[in-house]
Chains A and B, each alone.
Chain A
Amino acid sequence: MDETDLEVLRNASIGRLVATVAHELNNPVHIVACNAGFLTQYLEGLLELTAEVDAGADAARLAAIRERIEYDYLKQDAPRLIQSMREAAERLADLVRNLRTFSRSPGDLETLDLVEVVDSALVVLAPLFRNRLVVEREVRPPVPAVTGREGHIHQAVLALLAAVAEAVPEGRVKIVVDSDSAAGGRARLIVRAPLTRTVVDEFCRRILATHGAILTESVGADGVVTITLPAER
């Protein structure tokens, strides 16, 4: 298999994730957009009130406007509304930041933290797991740094975890990142889940092979996928 074949596999793998990511992007965008509408409504009410104050309206008139625009509720809810928009925007920024990592070209060999790779993948794949699967992530330090092409390693782990999410109808997915002392201290990723089918696709297998990874996979109620990567050279 040459680089062109690998690129085709990579594109197919990324393509499968587009719908998932679109869903995850859509939610915070929707929250920001709707809250912007509410904020406009709040602001219009408050501007009307201040205009009346400027015009010297009497207390009864101001009280009537306050009641109509639900001033007390606005005052109480406005900070919460702005906080909602902030949180949604931060979620969006976080997702985009993680997404960039996965869309990168393979890049040169560099030092990588397997824990960061797994965490980035879990952010992007959140909608695949949410409210259906319980994901337990455990890091058992020290986890050695690995050497690899950043884009490829991220994409392989993303493809693997996406396939796990799709192969497990419901239940628990346990993800452990540690060091495999029996294999000379290689960095290790273990995924335990009730797998209904194999999850390591050709793209993932190929990428891992080029990085000197050792891969084992078993399906069933006690399904396990283990990947060990050579420690930084």
Chain B
Amino acid sequence: MSERELVVMVVDDEPLNRDLLRRALVFDYDVEEAPDGSAALQVFEDDGRQVAVLVCDHMMPGLKGTDLVRTVSARWPTTVSILLTGYQDLPEIQQARRDGVVFEIIAKPCMPPDIKQVVERALAEHRRRQAS
């Protein structure tokens, strides 16, 4: 499977941030976007293609980022989740990290090359999970 066929889903309620994430990734990957956790889960349910990497904000209305990655981790275990947040010290984020449902936490604001680097590592982890 080429990198182009691997879906990276970005979830952020702030449209300007979502656009930024898309621009950082769209030249290398197939990018899906969702404005919140519920919409993201709908894409997981509806779309036959497998989401390789989930990049999501934490502070969102409705489902928080940690809630979303927990659900995804339980139901789509080969998907690798990355959490973006300006509040990395929150207890629920640290707990999600300890529980192993988050591959990496990126502090916001983050530069596009940093996101690409982490997504690249997450894709390697996705391949590892698929192979095992």
Contact = CB atoms under 8 A, between A and B. Distances in A.
Interface of A: 23, 26-27, 30-31, 34-35, 37-38, 70, 73, 77, 80-81, 84, 87-88, 130-132
Contact of B111 (A34, A87, A130): A34
A175 to B, nearest CB: 19
Interface residues of chain A: helix, strand, loop or mixed (majority):
helix
Residue among B16, B27, B112 facing the most chain A CB atoms (10 A cut-off): B16
A18 B19 CA distance: 28
B114 to A, nearest CB: 11
A81 B66 CA distance: 29
11 contacts: A27-B108, A31-B17, A34-B24, A34-B111, A35-B23, A73-B26, A81-B19, A81-B23, A84-B19, A84-B20, A131-B13
Nearest to A77: B23
A131 B59 contact: yes
A225 to B, nearest CB: 25
A77 B19 CA distance: 9
A88 B26 contact: no
Given A27-B17, A34-B23, A131-B60, 6 more contacts: A26-B109, A31-B20, A84-B20, A131-B13, A131-B61, A132-B59
B19 A130 contact: no
Contacts, number: 36
B23 A87 contact: no
A26 B17 CA distance: 12
A30 B112 CA distance: 11
A167 B107 CA distance: 25
Nearest to B60: A131
Interface string B8-50: 0000010011011001101100000000000000000000000
A143 B19 CA distance: 41
Contact of B109 (A27, A77, A132): A27
Tell which of B27, B109, B111 has the most Cβ of chain A within 10 Å. Answer: B109
B16 A87 contact: yes
Contact of A38 (B17, B23, B60, B86): B23
A157 to B, nearest CB: 25
B13 to A, nearest CB: 7
Find the residue from A23, A34, A81, A87 having the highest chain B CB count within 10 A.
A34
Contacts of A26: 109
Interface string B44-72: 00000000000000011100000000000
B91 to A, nearest CB: 12
Nearest to A28: B16
